Copies of this chain bind each other. A is one copy, B any other.
Amino acid sequence: MMLSQTEENYLKAIYSLAYANSNNVSTTLISEAIKTKASSVTDMIQKLAEKDLVHYKKYQGVSLTEIGQKIAVEIVRKHRLWEVFLLNKLDYNWDEVHELAEQLEHIKSETLIDKLEAFLEFPTHDPHGDPIPDKEGNIKHHNNTMLSSVETGKSCVVIGIKDSSDPFLKFLDKLQIQLGSILKVISKEPFDNSMLVETTIGSISISNQISKNIFVKNL
């Protein structure tokens, strides 16, 4: 099946929205994710339904079919492997790779991405800690422990970032927090759920908005 970049972007958006919301994805949600008007989304999901890539009943939102899901995961795989390439080989920073990967993920080839994966020595995660699906589309999600839920006095290691937006990543750079950083929760403030955290560069105060967006593994 030969899909346009636009169609691929819709599938990918539906995939990640479905993952985050765990039920049928609404037209408006997609339109916000993809930055188009709801009417355009309706047109496209009808087209995708026609091609059996999504399940669609009028006014009920969409979910991916098995084929749709498979294709979406393939694009995610390509996106994340290209991100690794850009960071590891071309010395980009983790806040710069996403936009370029948005373009590179649409390169069509039977062999390219597997060769790239081998060249990169089979990385398991992208620069933001997101898991890279394997050739067959299997993907190991991490266990969803957020920094915000780490108990006072305990230490943890940063394994991923939920919101990989540019400003958030730049902000973490400023705090010198990166994948692998070890954080110790010194205290929590019940008033606003902020926490005092010990890092390599000292103690810093982290708001709940931040700590809810950092995946960690308890030590």
Q: Which residues of A contact B (CB under 8 A)?
A: 89-92, 100, 103-104, 107-109, 111-112, 115-116, 119
User: What distance in Å separates the Cβ of A23 from its nearest Cβ neighbour in chain B?
Assistant: 36
A89 proximity list for chain B (CB < 8 A) = 119
Query: Do B103 and A107 have beta carbons less than 8 Å apart?
Result: yes
Bound CA–CA A100/B115 (angstroms): 13
A116 proximity list for chain B (CB < 8 A) = 90
Bound CA–CA A90/B81 (angstroms): 14
Bound CA–CA A89/B104 (angstroms): 17
Bound CA–CA A91/B119 (angstroms): 9
Bound CA–CA A104/B100 (angstroms): 12
Bound CA–CA A163/B204 (angstroms): 63
Known: A92-B115, A100-B112, A103-B108. 10 other contacts (CB 8 A): A89-B119, A90-B115, A90-B116, A90-B119, A91-B115, A92-B111, A100-B107, A100-B109, A103-B107, A103-B109
Query: Do B104 and A107 have beta carbons less than 8 Å apart?
Result: yes
User: What distance in Å separates the Cβ of A103 from its nearest Cβ neighbour in chain B?
Assistant: 5
User: What distance in Å separates the Cβ of A105 from its nearest Cβ neighbour in chain B?
Assistant: 11
Bound CA–CA A108/B103 (angstroms): 8
A112 proximity list for chain B (CB < 8 A) = 90, 100
- Determine the residue in chain B with the shortest Cβ distance to A116: B90
A115 proximity list for chain B (CB < 8 A) = 90-92
Among all A-B residue pairs, the 10 with the closest Cβ atoms: A90-B115, A103-B107, A90-B119, A89-B119, A100-B109, A100-B112, A104-B107, A90-B116, A103-B108, A91-B115
- Determine the residue in chain B with the shortest Cβ distance to A92: B115
Pairs A–B under 8 Å by Cβ, sample size 15 = A89-B119, A90-B112, A90-B115, A90-B116, A90-B119, A91-B115, A92-B111, A92-B115, A100-B107, A100-B109, A100-B112, A103-B107, A103-B108, A103-B109, A104-B107
